Amino acid sequence: MPENRLSKPLAIAISSVSILLALLVWQILASQGLLGKNFPGSVKTLQELIWWLSDPFFNNGPNDLGIGTNLLISLRRVLIGYSLAVLVAVPVGLLVGVSQIAESSVNPFVQLLKPISPLAWLPIGLFVFRDSELTGIFVIFISSVWPTLINTAFGVSSINPDFLKVSRSLGASKFRTIVKVVLPAVMPNILAGMRISMGTAWLVIVAAEMLLGSGIGYFIWNEWNNLSLPNIFAAIIVIGVAGMLLDQVFGWLQKRFDYQI
């Protein structure tokens, strides 16, 4: 029998206690020097985080931006590159799922390009675009297109054939069948792929921005050059919270389209 789920207040309380315990252990280990000399504790990190969040959007030049300003730069790059990836991946995934010719044509490129580290595309992007902003968007695009494409194609190929037979027997055109039958049926798979793609995009942009300049990744690299570990941990917390919120949005969408047939 499945275990009973915890009530929401109890789950929140347990999560809060676990976070507080982790912060306490972190502070004790740092204060005892067990994590290295001058390693910041959780108290110092939270103090720095509060300071950054007290005025997150200041702009004193390209190398002196608030943590919120850097976060917005990263989010802009991610959303543009990710949106372009979805616009390409969903139609191509639908085509691959319904056509064996398309599958045979696209599959070699998917298998060849999918395992390549996104950061390997950075030099190519910089050479082609000669612009850090476009390069960041390009890297996000190339890294986030595959999960959505693969999940969409898998969802189409897994559709119950009876649905398509009924649609054909009612005289529906191919376009109407895709819009009214295929898309609703594969929407959970599409959203699952989009959720994975967003997670990948958010991971990649931080690493890419350490080389591109500006954004939350560059913020971390700049603070490392300043030997400011508390600020680095503050940025890591901001990155984690932003990533969690983005994931929660897709989790909510998945629940809305989780059809039980």
What's the CATH number for 46-256?
Answer: 1.10.3720.10
Distance CA 77, CA 23 (A): 32
pTM of the predicted model as reported, rounded to 2 decimal places: 0.85
**Burial call 60-98: b when 16+ CB within 10 Å, e when fewer:** eeeeebbbbbbbbbbbebbebbbebbbeebbebbbbbbb
- Predicted local distance difference test score (pLDDT) of residue 260: 53
Q: Is pLDDT of 167 > 90?
A: no
* Domain residue ranges of the chain, discontinuous segments joined by +: 1-39, 46-256
Least confident of 69-83, 85-99, 188-202, 245-259: 245-259
Per-residue pLDDT reduced to its tens digit, 65-77: 889 999 999 999 9
- pLDDT value, residue 259: 59
pLDDT tens-digit readout, 135-164: 999 999 999 999 999 999 988 888 777 777
Question: Helix, strand or coil for residue 130?
Answer: coil
Alpha-carbon distance of 143 to 145, in angstroms, equals 6
